[in-house]
C-alpha cells in the first residue's frame, strides 16, 4: 500500500475540472478526487467554474478569452492550490493568462499569483505532495503519450512516468517519439481535419508498434483524439487518463 | 509577388493524397531528426549557446539602423559597393542593372532564400540572361521548374526515383539510380557553367558589421565557386542578417550548422570582405552587397512579433514540425515553409494574403524547443491569429463570430452552461452507436468523418460532486 504523506493532510486543493472533463469525461474528475482524498488532501470544487477561455484565445478571439479569464480568476481567488486534470488547461492559466494580460500590469499581478498556485494533476502529486506511489493496481502494458502543453509549457515529463511505473501490475513501455504531437491542437482538429488525422495516424502506428494495450496521458484532448481513431479502427488499445489509472485498485 | 494568395487547405489536401511525397517526407525527416538530436545532444553548452545567440539577436535587431550603417561603411571600406532595396522589385532592378552594366550573359547562383523571395531567376530570364542554380537541391528544383519546399533541403519532396527520372527527361542522361551517379552528372554540367559565368549571385548567412564581412555556409563548394570565379559577385541579404562582431560567429556558426544539418561544422564557410585585392590570387573584380527590406521593417515595428526577425534560416523548426511532415513545403504557398513560414509569410506578404497560415499549426511547440535563437513561434502564431480575427479584410466570418459569441455567453453563465450540457445529452441520442458518436452532421462531421467522438455524459462531474465530496479517502 501507499504511504500516506502526513504533510499533505492539511493541503487544500480547488479542482479546476475543465469543461471537457465535466461534460464528456466526468469519470476522470471523479478519479482525481478519489486519488487526492486517498492522499488526505482537502478537496473543493468551485461550482461556478466553466471554461478557462483557451479555445477563444487559441482561435484569436482575445477579447472573449479575457472575459472568461477574468471570470475564472474571480472564481479561483480563494487560498490553496488549483489542480487540473489537464496540462493544456493548466498551461492556459499558468502561462497564457500572462500573455493575454501582458499589457495590463494590474491584471498581471493577480495572474502571477494565480499562476504560482496552479498545477497539473501529475506534477502536483509528484512535485508538491512528493508522492510517486499512490497505491494503485492495474494489470496491463502501459505506454505514455506526452501532451504537448504538459511537456513544453509546463515541462512535465518524468512526473507522469514515475507515477505510472509505480502502479502495481503495470508493465511500462515507451512508444517511438512519445513527445510528438497527436494532431489534436484544439480547433486545429476540425479546422484542418485531414492534416490532424494524418498526424494522428502516425501516433497510432507508434502506439501499436510499442505493443501497449493501454495509452495514458495527462490530457483528455489528446486522448479524445487518439481514442477517436482507436475506436474507429477497432484497435485493441484502451485510452485512459492518468487519474483513472491511479484511481484503480 | 502581389498576386500570391496562399490556399493552405487546398494545397495540403493535394499533398496528403500524394503517396510519393508522403514517403519522401517521412524518410528524410525521420533520418534527420536523429542526426540533429546527436549534434545537439553531444554539446553540453547547447542551452547557453542558444541563450547567447538569442541575446545578440535581440540586441542587434533593437538597433538595426546603426549596425546596418556600420556594415555599409565597412563594406565600402573593403572596396565593395552597397545597394539598398526597399522591396523585391527594387532588389531585382538593382541586380539587373549591375548585370546589364557589365554586359553579363550568364549567371551562376548559390543557394539563397532571399533570391527566391524576390524571384530573381524570373527577372534574369526576362532580361535574356542565363541563370543556373548550383546547389544540387536547387539545381534539381530549377530543372523541375518548381519552388524549393524546404529552406535547407529544397528538393526534400522528391524521392531518388523522381530525380533519376527528371535527369533523364531534362538532361538526356541514362537512368541513373545511385545518388553518386546523379551528383556526378550535376557536377559535370555545373563545372562548365561556373567557368563561363560572368556574374555570381549568393545569399548571406551572416553579415558582420564591424568588418564588412559576409559569411556563406555550405557543403558543396558551389557557393565558394560562385563567389570567387565570376568577375562580379552580388550578394543579397535581408536587413536582419547583420550581426555586430566577428567573434559572434563562434556562436552563430555553431547554432546554425548543428540545427541545419546536424553537422559540427559545414564543409565550407566562406568569409568574404570586399572584392579581390591586389595580393589575392582569386576573387571577383567587383563585390556588390544588396541589403533588402521587403516587408521586414514592418515586422520590426510590431513589438509582439519582432522576434520573427531573429530567424537565422536553419530549418530546424521545419524538420521537427508534425504538420510540415504531412503537408510538405509547397502547402505553405510561398518560399518559406513550416512554422517559420507560418509566421513570416503572413507578415511579409500581408496578413490578408496568407490568413490561414497562423492557424495551420497544432501549437505543439516543438518548433520553439529546437529553435537555435529561441523564437517562441507558437506565441507569434497566437498573436497573428488574433490579428487575423480583427483584420477588416479577413476577419472571422459572420457564422464563426456568432458561434464564438454564443459559446462565450454559455460559458459566462453556469445555469446556461448546465442547460447546454443537458441539451447536448438529449440531442445527441439519434447519433449514438455503441456509446459513441460516429457520424455527426456538419460542422461536427469534420471530426467524425475519421474519428469517433465521445458521447456527452449523462451525469456531468458537477452533478456527481455532491455525492463524492464527502467521501472518505
Longest CA span, chain A: 52
Asked if the model's pLDDT at residue A52 lies above 50, the reply is yes
The C-alpha cell that represents B401 in the structure block: 463570430
Residue in chain A lying closest to B453 (CA): A228
What's residue B1's pLDDT? Answer: 53
- The answer to whether the CB of B201 falls within 8 A of the CB of B107 is yes
Q: What angle do CA A54, A96, B387 make, to 5 degrees?
A: 75
Contacts of A36 in chain B (CB under 8 A): 473
* CA distance to partner chain B, nearest, from residue A4 (Å): 11
Q: Do A180 and B407 touch (CB under 8 A)?
A: no
**Nearest-angstrom CA–CA distance, B358 and B323:** 12
Coil, strand, or helix at residue B405?
Answer: helix
- Quote ipTM for the complex: 0.95
- The set of residues, in sequence order, having a beta carbon less than 8 Å from that of A49 and lying 6+ positions away, is A16, A17, A72, A75, A76
**Nearest-angstrom CA–CA distance, B236 and B112:** 8
Omega within 30 of 0 (cis) for the link into B443: yes
CATH value of A6-126 in 3.90.320, 3.40.50, 3.40.1130, 3.20.20: 3.40.50
What's residue A2's pLDDT? Answer: 45
pLDDT per residue over A185-230, tens digit each?
999 999 999 999 999 999 999 999 999 999 999 999 999 999 999 9
- The answer to whether the CB of A222 falls within 8 A of the CB of A215 is no
User: What proportions of chain B, in percent to the nearest 5, are helix, strand and coil?
Assistant: 55, 10, 35
Domain extents in chain A = 6-126, 135-247
Q: Do A17 and B462 touch (CB under 8 A)?
A: yes
Does this model's pTM top 0.90? My answer is yes
Nearest to B451 among A36, A151, A229 (CB): A229
Of B292, B315, B296, B311, give the one whose Cα is nearest residue B118.
B292
Nearest to A67 among B326, B408, B421 (CB): B408
- Arithmetic mean of pLDDT over chain A: 95
Domain extents in chain B = 1-42+319-395, 43-294, 400-468
- The answer to whether the CB of A26 falls within 8 A of the CB of A147 is no
- The answer to whether the CB of B454 falls within 8 A of the CB of A227 is yes
Asked if the model's pLDDT at residue A3 lies above 80, the reply is no
Asked if the model's pLDDT at residue A232 lies above 70, the reply is yes
Top residue of A23, A98, A234 to mutate, by most chain B CBs within 10 Å, is A23
For the ranges A4-13, A19-28, A121-130, B187-196, the lowest mean pLDDT is seen at: A4-13
Top residue of B362, B382, B402, B457 to mutate, by most chain A CBs within 10 Å, is B362
Percentage of chain A modeled with pLDDT above 90: 95
The reply to whether A135-247 shares the fold of A6-126 is yes
Fold observed for domain B43-294: Rossmann fold (3.40.50)
- The answer to whether the CB of A21 falls within 8 A of the CB of B461 is yes
Q: What is the DSSP string of B266-329?
A: -SEEEEE-SS--TT-SS--SEEEEEEE-TTHHHHHH-GGGGGGGG-----HHHHH-HHHHHH-G
* CA distance to partner chain A, nearest, from residue B165 (Å): 28
What's residue B44's pLDDT? Answer: 86
Q: Do B469 and A24 touch (CB under 8 A)?
A: no
CA atoms within 13 A on the CB side of B123: 21
The C-alpha cell that represents B11 in the structure block: 494545397
Contacts of B411 in chain A (CB under 8 A): 19, 50-51, 53, 68, 71
Residue in chain A lying closest to B367 (CA): A152
- The answer to whether the CB of B117 falls within 8 A of the CB of B349 is no
List the 69-128 stretch of B: residues with Cβ below 8 A of A.
Answer: none
Residues of chain B with pLDDT under 50: none
pLDDT per residue over A147-191, tens digit each?
999 999 999 999 999 999 999 999 999 999 999 999 999 999 999
* CA distance to partner chain B, nearest, from residue A170 (Å): 23
CATH value of A135-247 in 3.30.70, 1.10.3470, 3.40.1000, 3.40.50: 3.40.50
Q: Do B449 and A21 touch (CB under 8 A)?
A: no
- Residue B210, phi-psi category: left (phi > 0), alpha (psi -120 to 50), beta (remainder): alpha
**Nearest-angstrom CA–CA distance, B191 and A208:** 50
Rounded to the nearest 10°, the torsion over CA B318, B321, B325, B326 is: -130
Top residue of B415, B427, B451, B454 to mutate, by most chain A CBs within 10 Å, is B451
Coil, strand, or helix at residue A51?
Answer: coil
What's residue A9's pLDDT? Answer: 52
Amino acid at each position: 500500500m501507499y504511504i500516506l504523506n502526513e504533510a499533505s493532510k492539511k493541503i487544500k486543493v480547488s479542482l479546476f475540472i475543465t469543461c471537457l472533463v465535466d461534460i464528456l469525461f466526468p469519470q476522470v474528475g471523479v478519479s482525481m478526487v478519489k486519488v487526492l482524498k486517498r492522499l488526505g488532501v482537502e478537496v473543493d470544487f468551485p461550482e461556478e467554474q466553466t471554461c478557462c477561455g483557451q479555445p477563444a484565445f487559441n482561435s484569436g478571439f482575445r477579447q472573449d478569452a479575457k472575459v472568461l479569464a477574468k471570470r475564472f480568476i474571480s472564481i479561483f481567488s480563494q487560498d490553496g492550490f488549483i489542480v487540473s486534470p489537464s496540462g493544456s488547461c493548466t498551461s492556459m492559466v499558468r502561462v497564457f493568462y500572462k500573455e493575454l494580460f501582458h499589457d495590463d500590469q494590474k491584471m498581471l499581478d493577480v495572474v502571477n499569483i494565480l499562476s504560482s498556485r496552479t498545477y497539473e494533476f501529475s506534477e502536483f502529486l509528484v512535485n508538491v505532495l512528493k508522492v510517486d506511489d499512490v497505491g494503485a493496481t492495474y494489470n496491463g502494458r502501459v505506454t505514455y503519450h506526452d501532451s504537448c502543453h504538459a511537456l513544453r509549457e509546463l515541462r512535465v515529463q518524468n512526473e507522469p512516468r514515475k507515477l505510472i511505473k509505480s502502479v502495481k501490475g503495470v508493465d511500462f513501455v515507451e512508444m517511438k517519439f512519445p513527445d510528438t504531437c497527436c494532431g489534436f491542437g484544439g480547433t486545429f482538429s476540425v479546422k484542418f481535419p485531414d492534416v490532424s488525422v494524418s498526424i494522428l495516424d502516425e501516433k497510432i502506428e507508434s502506439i501499436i508498434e510499442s505493443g501497449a494495450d493501454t495509452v495514458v496521458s495527462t490530457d483528455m484532448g489528446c486522448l479524445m483524439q487518439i481514442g477517436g481513431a482507436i475506436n474507429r479502427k477497432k484497435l485493441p488499445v484502451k485510452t485512459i487518463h492518468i487519474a483513472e489509472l491511479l484511481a484503480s485498485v | 509577388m502581389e498576386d500570391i494568395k496562399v490556399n493552405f487547405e487546398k494545397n495540403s489536401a493535394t499533398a496528403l493524397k500524394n503517396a510519393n511525397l508522403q514517403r519522401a517526407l517521412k524518410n528524410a525527416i525521420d533520418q534527420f531528426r536523429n542526426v540533429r538530436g546527436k549534434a545537439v545532444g553531444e554539446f553540453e553548452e547547447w542551452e547557453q549557446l542558444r541563450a547567447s545567440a538569442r541575446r545578440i539577436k535581440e540586441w542587434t535587431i533593437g538597433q538595426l539602423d546603426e549596425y546596418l550603417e556600420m556594415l555599409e561603411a565597412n563594406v565600402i571600406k573593403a572596396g565593395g559597393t552597397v545597394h539598398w532595396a526597399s522591396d523585391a522589385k527594387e532588389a531585382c532592378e538593382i541586380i539587373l542593372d549591375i548585370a546589364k552594366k557589365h554586359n553579363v550573359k550568364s549567371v551562376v547562383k548559390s543557394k539563397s532564400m532571399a533570391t527566391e523571395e524576390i524571384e530573381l531567376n524570373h527577372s534574369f530570364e526576362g532580361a535574356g540572361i542565363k541563370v543556373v542554380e548550383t546547389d544540387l537541391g536547387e539545381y534539381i528544383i530549377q530543372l523541375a521548374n518548381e519552388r524549393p519546399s524546404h529552406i535547407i533541403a529544397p528538393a526534400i519532396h522528391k524521392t531518388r526515383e523522381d530525380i533519376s527520372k527528371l535527369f533523364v527527361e531534362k538532361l538526356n542522361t541514362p537512368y541513373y539510380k545511385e545518388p553518386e551517379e546523379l551528383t556526378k552528372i550535376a557536377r559535370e554540367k555545373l563545372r562548365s557553367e561556373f567557368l563561363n559565368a560572368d556574374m555570381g549571385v549568393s545569399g548571406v548567412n551572416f553579415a558582420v558589421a564591424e568588418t564588412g564581412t559576409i559569411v556563406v555556409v555550405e557543403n558543396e563548394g558551389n557557393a565558394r565557386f560562385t563567389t570567387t570565379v565570376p568577375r562580379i559577385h552580388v550578394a543579397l541579404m535581408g536587413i536582419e542578417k547583420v550581426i555586430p562582431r566577428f567573434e559572434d560567429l563562434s556562436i552563430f556558426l555553431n547554432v546554425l550548422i548543428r540545427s541545419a544539418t546536424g553537422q559540427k561544422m559545414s564543409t565550407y564557410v566562406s568569409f568574404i570582405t570586399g572584392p579581390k585585392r591586389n595580393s589575392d590570387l582569386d576573387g571577383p573584380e567587383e563585390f556588390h552587397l544588396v541589403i533588402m527590406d521587403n516587408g521586414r521593417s514592418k515586422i520590426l515595428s510590431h513589438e509582439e512579433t519582432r522576434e520573427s526577425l531573429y530567424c537565422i534560416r536553419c530549418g530546424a523548426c521545419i524538420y521537427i514540425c508534425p504538420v510540415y511532415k504531412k503537408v510538405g513545403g509547397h502547402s505553405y504557398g510561398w518560399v518559406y515553409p513550416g512554422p517559420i513560414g507560418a509566421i513570416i509569410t503572413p507578415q511579409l506578404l500581408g496578413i490578408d494574403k496568407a490568413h490561414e497560415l497562423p492557424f495551420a499549426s497544432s501549437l505543439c511547440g516543438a518548433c520553439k524547443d529546437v529553435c537555435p535563437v529561441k523564437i517562441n513561434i507558437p506565441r507569434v502564431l497566437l498573436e497573428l491569429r488574433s490579428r487575423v480575427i480583427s483584420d477588416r479584410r479577413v476577419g472571422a466570418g459572420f457564422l464563426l463570430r456568432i458561434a464564438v459569441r454564443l459559446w462565450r455567453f454559455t460559458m459566462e453563465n453556469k445555469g446556461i452552461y448546465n442547460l447546454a450540457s443537458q441539451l447536448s445529452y438529449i440531442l445527441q441520442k439519434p447519433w449514438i452507436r455503441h456509446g459513441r458518436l460516429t457520424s455527426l452532421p456538419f460542422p461536427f462531421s469534420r471530426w467524425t468523418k475519421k474519428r469517433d467522438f465521445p458521447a456527452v455524459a449523462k451525469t456531468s462531474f458537477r452533478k456527481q460532486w455532491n455525492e463524492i465530496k464527502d467521501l472518505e479517502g
